[in-house]
Amino acid sequence: MAEHAATAATPGTPPRAARDALPDASPLVRTPRRGRVEAGSAEEKRLREIWEAPPGWRGWLSTVDHKTIGLRYLVTAFVFLLMGGVEALIMRIQLARPNATVLTPEQYDQLFTMHGVTMIFLYALPVLSGFSNYLWPLVLGARDMAFPRLNALSYWVFLFAGIFLYASFPAGQAPDAGWFNYAPLSGLEYNTGPNIDVYALGMVLLGISTTVGSMNFVVTLLRMRAPGMSLDRIPVLVWGTLTASGGNLLAVPSVSLAFFLLWMDRRIGTHFFDVLNSGRPLLWQHLFWIFAHPWVYAVVLPAMGIVSDALPVFCRRPLVGYGPVALSTVATMVIGFVVWIHHMFATGIPALALSFFGAASMVIAIPSAVATFAWIATIWTGRPVFRVPFLFFAGFVLLFVVGGVSGVLTAAVPFDWQLTDTYFVVAHLHYVLLGINVFPVMGGIYFWFPKFTGRMMSERLGKLGFWVLFIGFNVAFFPMHIAGLLGMPRRIYTYPADMGWNTVNLVTSLGSFLFAAGVLIFLIDLLVSLKHGKPAGDNPWDAPTLEWSVSSPPPPYNFAVVPSLASRHPLWEGRIDEPDTAFHARSQLDEGYLLAQGREALGTSALEARPDVILKMPADSYAPFWLAVFASLVFAGLALSAWIFAGAMLAGCAVSIIVWLWPERALIQREPATVHDAGG
């Protein structure tokens, strides 16, 4: 973790008394000249030497660079997306016609469970964590995340948790009680294999990754913003991920507790969910949905932030209603914590509670509508440029409306009673969790691909891929609404031929394969552009935010000098009339604090982002990797009831933590580094 040196920081060098109080703390040095630190200069070489990871496998395992970790999240999440997509296609082959026998009931149960687990837990949030890990320090004007080693740990634990969850799949013993895993069907009396044990422990392991990652985002926002980046100047992407992270810190303990209690019921003999021994099966649903409904917003709000920040770039104007959109982001998550019974209307909840939670489920549409009208107004009052990212963002707005309207319908208790456990709910779920997530993600990749790689993706292939994806998505999932209204239950592996569901299921299956073809086009474009894409330059979209002020791809240290901000759109200053610049204040992107005495970052105050501390950042380390390995082996030992092995691996965790926290020899240069004026 970062070692905090409590040094006073002002726009100049700190007072001598502050420096003398902590002699190991580096002074804040204001660069005396304007202009960037030139590539190849002594200062730039010094920064690159300090921040660059070692070459080869050593750097691959030990790096804590947020950009590398972000890209790993993106790649790994897309691998899981493809795995979940293949599982979905196999299920759609089974359901394309009545009385099909492609899958047995047991195989279908495992497929649809792993499909849900993969798409919801291993793709939807991790892919957004990839964007946020890569972009947050860049858009905030920071050198790295607040806790770089925790950042690395969150990725490695996520990766091993995914492998752990899939470990029993090849042996035909995958989780098979649905991603919701309701008790008592997931209890030992109904499911004696290792399926549910793997799922329960895997979710606890995944919860560790989510929790440490969320803590890192919150602290980074509070303490790592560039000077001048007050709370009313941070990008909406940051608001979205911050809100999701806060929600995760409150929600993940609930589901981790539920899965751990279930594992104890199955392996130790407790009776938390056993009704024959005074347990409460309904307790499982409460604990699960207290987590799962806020989780829906955790996988939507960062995606909405991507749209809110990138869409205005192609409309050539700032986002309409920044303040209301930021407030609506927070309000959505707050209200999301009081609507979990939205999923339990048919469980015998008292009428008064149904009324309260039904009303809350309708009210939550208001903040979502605020964001929707802001996007539409931004397009309407701007000068839209119809590039590929804009198409994905505009398509997202339409899908967001469809998914939101169907959600409001199910908030009405009598309507929900009629449609509970039908394919109408499946349609709503896919519009919310797939349409509202995948389209912003793909648009975001097209938008930030030049920043990731320094190359552009193809406009021709991109537009073709968008239309195939958009048409395929709606052909696949809109007919599910009709199937639900016709009474088709969800979670069935086949159906009779005389139920009237044949046509809608065939259309849905064909649409699923069309959607898969769109994903394939996207992947071809991505892979070809990695090597043959047109060079992008630093800011090919003429975007206004800080990440576009550095080279593409960014250097290991992000910013040679820590920038200072005076507006929300520092790269558009002089072109737009903002209240921030009413008194001719201008952001200083090329003149700021040069911190080159070891791995250093600037810490700022939580509200106004005033510089107040220099942060000594930790070096690259193997400890996060090994801690994740040993933690995963602990859970493997618990799943196999190998208690001695689990204890030994727990000792390995302790050793890894000791190595992690062992004091390092700080890289401190005694004389302040300055940037000298090239003109003398």
The DSSP annotation for 637-677 comes to: HHHTT-HHHHHHHHHHHHHHHHHHHS-------SSPP----
Per-residue pLDDT at 504 exceeds 90: yes
- Confidence label for 577 from pLDDT (cuts 50, 70 and 90): low
Given a contact cutoff of 8 angstroms between Cβ atoms, the answer to whether 563 and 644 are in contact is no
Given a contact cutoff of 8 angstroms between Cβ atoms, the answer to whether 423 and 483 are in contact is yes
Strands (E), 129-288: none
Q: What is the pLDDT, as a whole number, of residue 665?
A: 64
Q: Which helix (H) or strand (E) holds 227?
A: none
Tokens of 199: 């799922």
pLDDT (mean) for 3-32 = 37
Per-residue pLDDT at 291 exceeds 60: yes
Per-residue pLDDT at 20 exceeds 50: no
Q: What is the pLDDT, as a whole number, of residue 46?
A: 86
Beta-carbon neighbour count of residue 671 at 10 Å? 6
Chain-centroid distance of CA 503 in Å reads 37
Q: How far is residue 564's CA from residue 542's CA, in Å, rounded to a whole number?
A: 20
**Number of helical (H) and strand (E) elements in the chain, helices listed first:** 22, 5
pLDDT (mean) for 628-646 = 95
Q: What is the pLDDT, as a whole number, of residue 585?
A: 67
577 burial via Cβ count (<10 Å: 0-12, 13-18, 19+): exposed
**pLDDT tens digits along 214-272:** 999 999 999 999 999 999 999 999 999 999 999 999 999 999 999 999 999 999 999 99
pLDDT (mean) for 460-473 = 96
Per-residue pLDDT at 50 exceeds 50: yes
Per-residue pLDDT at 18 exceeds 60: no
pLDDT (mean) for 95-113 = 94
382: left (phi over 0), alpha (psi -120 to 50) or beta: beta
Non-local CB neighbours of 370 within 8 Å, separated by 6+ positions: 321, 324, 325, 327, 328
Tokens of 1: 């973790």
Extents of the domains making up the chain: 67-532
Dump the DSSP string for 507-547.
HHHHHHHHHHHHHHHHHHHHHHHHHHSPB--S-TT---SGG
**pLDDT tens digits along 191-212:** 888 889 999 999 999 999 999 9
Given a contact cutoff of 8 angstroms between Cβ atoms, the answer to whether 29 and 13 are in contact is yes
Q: How far is residue 399's CA from residue 533's CA, in Å, rounded to a whole number?
A: 30
Per mean pLDDT, which of 586-590, 596-600, 609-613 is the most reliable? Answer: 609-613
The dihedrals phi and psi of 611, each to the nearest 5 degrees, come to -60, 130
Q: Which helix (H) or strand (E) holds 614?
A: strand 611-616
In DSSP terms, 409 is beta-bridged to none
Q: Distance of CA 407 to CAs 123, 361, 520, 585, Å?
A: 22, 8, 30, 45
- Confidence label for 166 from pLDDT (cuts 50, 70 and 90): very high
- Confidence label for 580 from pLDDT (cuts 50, 70 and 90): low
Q: How far is residue 463's CA from residue 88's CA, in Å, rounded to a whole number?
A: 25
Q: What is the pLDDT, as a whole number, of residue 664?
A: 74
**pLDDT tens digits along 364-420:** 899 999 999 999 999 999 999 999 999 999 999 999 999 988 888 888 999 999 999
pLDDT (mean) for 309-328 = 95
Per-residue pLDDT at 579 exceeds 90: no
Q: What is the pLDDT, as a whole number, of residue 590?
A: 73
Given a contact cutoff of 8 angstroms between Cβ atoms, the answer to whether 117 and 179 are in contact is yes
**pLDDT tens digits along 451-464:** 999 999 999 999 99
Q: What's the CA angle centered on 556, arms 122 and 233, to 5 degrees?
A: 75
Non-local CB neighbours of 359 within 8 Å, separated by 6+ positions: none
Q: How far is residue 493's CA from residue 376's CA, in Å, rounded to a whole number?
A: 41
Q: What's the CA angle centered on 512, arms 507 and 515, to 5 degrees?
A: 125
Q: What's the CA angle centered on 588, arms 575 and 669, to 5 degrees?
A: 160
Q: What is the pLDDT, as a whole number, of residue 588?
A: 80
> Which residue did the predictor score with more confidence, 35 or 169?
169
Q: What is the pLDDT, as a whole number, of residue 407?
A: 87
Q: How far is residue 124's CA from residue 101's CA, in Å, rounded to a whole number?
A: 31
Given a contact cutoff of 8 angstroms between Cβ atoms, the answer to whether 649 and 603 are in contact is no
Q: What is the CATH number of domain 67-532?
A: 1.20.210.10
Tokens of 537: 């330059």
Per-residue pLDDT at 679 exceeds 60: no
Q: How many CA atoms lie within 13 A of 520 on its CB side?
A: 8
Q: What's the CA angle centered on 282, arms 278 and 285, to 5 degrees?
A: 145
Beta-carbon neighbour count of residue 677 at 10 Å? 11
Mean pLDDT estimate for the chain? 88
**Residues of 251-261 as b/e, b for ≥16 C-beta within 10 angstroms?**
bbebbbbbbbb
Q: How far is residue 427's CA from residue 300's CA, in Å, rounded to a whole number?
A: 16
Q: Which helix (H) or strand (E) holds 596?
A: none
Dump the DSSP string for 359-418.
HHHHHTHHHHHHHHHHHHHHHHHS-----HHHHHHHHHHHHHHHHHHHHHHHHSHHHHHH
Dump the DSSP string for 566-578.
SSS-GGGBTTB--
Non-local CB neighbours of 436 within 8 Å, separated by 6+ positions: 300, 303, 304, 396, 399, 400, 403
Q: What is the pLDDT, as a whole number, of residue 139?
A: 95
Dump the DSSP string for 67-102.
HHHHHHHHHHHHHHHHHHHHHHHHHHHHHSSTT--S
Given a contact cutoff of 8 angstroms between Cβ atoms, the answer to whether 500 and 486 are in contact is yes
> Which residue did the predictor score with more confidence, 507 or 174?
507
The dihedrals phi and psi of 609, each to the nearest 5 degrees, come to 60, 50
> Which residue did the predictor score with more confidence, 75 or 679?
75
Per-residue pLDDT at 12 exceeds 80: no
Tell me, letter by letter, the H, E, C secondary structure of 312-375.
Answer: HHHHCCCCCCHHHHHHHHHHHHHHHCCCHHHHCCCCCCCHHHHHHHHHHHHHCHHHHHHHHHHH
The dihedrals phi and psi of 11, each to the nearest 5 degrees, come to -60, -5
Q: How far is residue 221's CA from residue 252's CA, in Å, rounded to a whole number?
A: 20
